[in-house]
Amino acid sequence: MGLGNIGKPMALRLTKWEGGLTVFDIAPEPLAELETAGAKVAGSVAELAADCSVISIMVNTDDQVRDVMGQILGAAKPGTALVVHSTISPDLPPRLEDLGGRHDLLVVDAPVSGGAMGAADGTLAIMVGGSDAAFDAVRGPLGLMGTEVVHCGPIGNGTAAKLARNLLHFVAFTATGEALRLAEAAGIDLQALGRIVRHTDSITGGPGAIMHRDTTQELAPDDFWVSIFSHVRAIGEKDLSHAIELADRLGVDVPMAHFALDHLSAALGLPKED
């Protein structure tokens, strides 16, 4: 339930689920589209809950999740699995699991990443928090919607993974604004720069290129990554220093560049050089 920009294409992928699909939303238009695609339309949340063994919830806010959960309880059959795809506050998933458990329901938090395009293509990354039994109950339908379905651990860990992923996303957007101001002051075509960034990130992997370690602790001197990341640090500190020099000359404030220069070593797991 919840057939918005991402929820609707996710539901369209689930029309291929062999167990059938029942949908509900307060808006009539997506319901009509899903019905044409072969889904059954429920008249209420409770009606949907009584009809389904796996319930996917894709609404916007904590309050909306709580409201939907309240309508599900008492209507869903024992053993039903609830999948909360919404990005919610980190303390809510354990409460939902506790509440669902009192009614013999399985609960996972399973936020998604990949946007409407990934939802339409079935290529979402889906980060799942919950018990092994709950994950096993939902992995089949999740596999129709995402090509990277990861069991991140107990309830709440799906949300934690999504929040960490989006922290990177939006901090990067903020740094992008800083870089664009510098480029604009230097007279660079910003759309051309955007093409360059998208092209090179598609080759190098962008920030994900350094995300191969299983700890954020400082690397041991004999670690495989030390020589690689030492090279990355040398290039990064040189280029950040030059960017700050250019910004100073052009009168552009670049606080994130200064922060990055001070903290790049730690981000790479290297000791800061004197």
Convert the pLDDT of each residue in 191-216 to its tens digit. 999 999 999 999 999 899 999 888 99
Average pLDDT estimate for 101-113: 96
* Catalytic-labelled residue, pool 16, 40, 77, 162: 162
What fold is seen in the domain 7-161? Rossmann fold (3.40.50)
Instruction: Enter the pTM of the model.
Output: 0.90
CATH number for the domain formed by residue range(s) 212-274: 1.10.1040.10
C-beta of residue 117 within 8 angstroms of C-beta of residue 95: no
Determine whether 40 is an active site residue.
Answer: no
Q: Which residue has the higher pLDDT, 19 or 259?
A: 259
CA distance 11 to 223: 45
Task: Give residue 272's pLDDT band: very low, low, confident or very high (50, 70, 90).
Answer: confident
pLDDT at residue 274 greater than cutoff 70: no
Beta bridge partners of 83: 56, 108
Delimit the CATH 1.10.1040.10 region(s) of the chain: 212-274
pLDDT for 56: 96
Crossing angle (nearest 10°) for helices 190-204 and 157-185: 140
Query: Mean pLDDT for the chain?
Result: 94
| DSSP label of 107 | E
Alpha-helix residue ranges (DSSP H) falling in the chain: 7-14, 28-36, 45-51, 62-72, 92-101, 115-121, 132-145, 157-185, 190-204, 225-250, 255-268
Average pLDDT estimate for 246-259: 96
Delimit the CATH 3.40.50.720 region(s) of the chain: 7-161
C-beta of residue 229 within 8 angstroms of C-beta of residue 268: yes
Average pLDDT estimate for 156-184: 96
